[in-house]
Structure 1
Amino acid sequence: MATVSNLSQIKQYDPLATAAKAGNDVTSTKDMTQNFLKMLTTQLRNQDPMNPTDTASMTTQLAQLNMVDSINQMKGTMTSLLSQIQSSDFMNYSSSVGKYAMAASKSLSFDGKTPMNLGAQLVNDVSSVLATISDDKGNVIAKEILGAHSTGMVNFSWDGTDSDGKPVAAGKYSIALSALSTEGGTFTPDSFVASMVAAIGKDSNKNPLLTLADGRAVAPSDIAQWIA
């Protein structure tokens, strides 16, 4: 006949206490492990020798708790490491302020005097690329034929003049690209516009975010080229 010992030393489940503690510590794996150890040893001490309790399941649960505890510790370590990497990246990108970053865009913010560095991303070898500059009303201001190029980024610039070579006023303009592949097909390459980095900030996930002088906010991964 099995005997019953005093189990008062084992922590009892209290819903109110648990709810109050949840706001401060939602991962009490250490306490749970200690409780399971007490339960396991108490059960072994009081089991019927003629009908012993199977402890394999409890041992498995205990091992799982230890695994969860290790995962929680690893998660904390990885979170800390990620925070350090993000802080390091943020400090590194601060040196890019004042430099020109080339990122995808069709909009041009011309200041009336500074030539604009532009780019065309080609996915095929081409026999010709045509760049068309238009004003904010859609009127074509200038066109430039870039000629034949291989796959990759093609860099060129617009000096702020129209088709007659006359300077245009400062303002908003747009660029459109069209290309003729060496196989005879046509396609529209992605256009890139360079602008000076004005400030470095962070997005909602605390990742570096570069604010450009033309008003764009881009992630470092969106930058195709750096131009001195």
Structure 2
Amino acid sequence: MVNSVSGTGSVAAATTSLASSSASATDGSDYMTFLRMLTTQVQNQDPLNPMASTDFAVQLATFSGVEQQIQTNNLLSQILSGTTGSTLAQYADWIGREVLTYSPAVYDGDPITVQTAGYSAATSANLVVRDSSGTEIMRQTIPVEATEFEWSGFDEAGTQLPQGVYQLQTEYFENDAVVATGVAAVFSEVTGVEASDLGSVILLKGDTSALVDDVLKLRSAR
């Protein structure tokens, strides 16, 4: 499970809460086990050969150390929970806005803003559009320099492509030889934020996603 911020802006610390509960249960069990062992030892010691005061002091010190460790673990769990929630909350206002990433383009009938890196040594360049299975659907000529433009979602014949997820790639040529290829960046609407082992993840329209660290630009929705 992952922590998430949904479109309502709420923060759910599911993973951290479960981990904290599990850790607390384990630590509490160890604490009570140690207490029962110490109590049993005192009750059953030989009256003619009682426990030395130094040994008893050592065990009491150990008991105190266990208690302090449990309290420390609980405090660390609370800090972790608060930190995770705070990290997600700072991206809550991204929901409903658009981010530029190298994620696949989700075409819903409206033009998509595309940004290419460019290649100065090229003499020509194409934008290659592939469907979700990787099949080439169309290609169109684009500038060789870095540029931002609107991809309409229509093929070379002027037919509108079906709504869905598409891969937008770039090919740069020097005469007829391909000298560079890449992935075009596209703007996508943010629908939520999640916490993962890799960091905060931006959820995008069309069930795609990207790490916050991979976001190139942020803008208001059109």
Determine which structure has greater relative contact order: mean sequence separation of CA pairs < 8 Å that are 6+ residues apart, divided by chain length.
Answer: 2
CA distance in 2 between counterparts of 1:203 and 1:99 reads: 19
Q: What corresponds to 2:81 in structure 1? A: 83
What amino acid is aligned across from residue 141 of structure 2 in structure 1? K
- 1:23 and 1:109, CA in 2 relative to 1: closer, same or farther beyond 3 A? closer
By how many angstroms is 1:189 displaced? 3.8
Task: Give a deviation string over 1:152-182, Cα, whole Å, max 9, x none.
Answer: xx662333176869574453432123468xx
Secondary structure of 1:95's aligned partner: helix
**What is the TM-score when the length of structure 1 is the normalising length?**
0.55
The separation in 1 between residues aligned to 2:219 and 2:90, in whole angstroms, is 17
Counterpart secondary structure, 1:139: strand
One-letter code of the match for 1:28? Y
Gaps of 5+ in 2: 1-24
Q: Note if contact 1:141-1:162 (Cα within 8 Å) is conserved in structure 2.
A: no
**Percent of residue pairs bearing the same amino acid type:** 14
Give the aligned partner of residue 189 of structure 2. 196
Aligned to 2:115: 118
Show the counterpart of 2:150.
158
| TM-score computed with the length of structure 2 as normaliser | 0.56
**Cα 1:116–1:29 shift into 2, 3 Å:** same
Per-residue deviation, 1:226:
1.7
Structural mapping, 1:107-186, within 5 Å: 107-120=104-117, 127-128=121-122, 130-136=125-131, 137-147=135-145, 156-160=148-152, 168-169=160-161, 171-172=163-164, 173-178=166-171, 186=179
Question: Equivalent residue for 2:203?
Answer: 211
User: How many angstroms does 1:135 deviate by?
Assistant: 4.8
How many correspondences in the alignment? 185
Q: CA deviation at 1:56?
A: 7.2
Give 1:116's aligned amino acid.
T
* Unaligned stretches of 5+ residues in structure 1: 1-21, 148-153
Shift of 1:77: 0.9
State the distance in 1 between where 2:107 and 2:86 align: 34
Please say if residues 110 and 160 of structure 1, whose CA atoms lie closer than 8 Å, have aligned partners that are also in contact.
no
Q: Rg bigger for which structure?
A: 1
Task: Could you list the structure 1 runs, at least 4 aligned residues long, displaced by more than 6 angstroms after superposition.
Answer: 161-165
Change (3 A) 1:190 1:132: closer
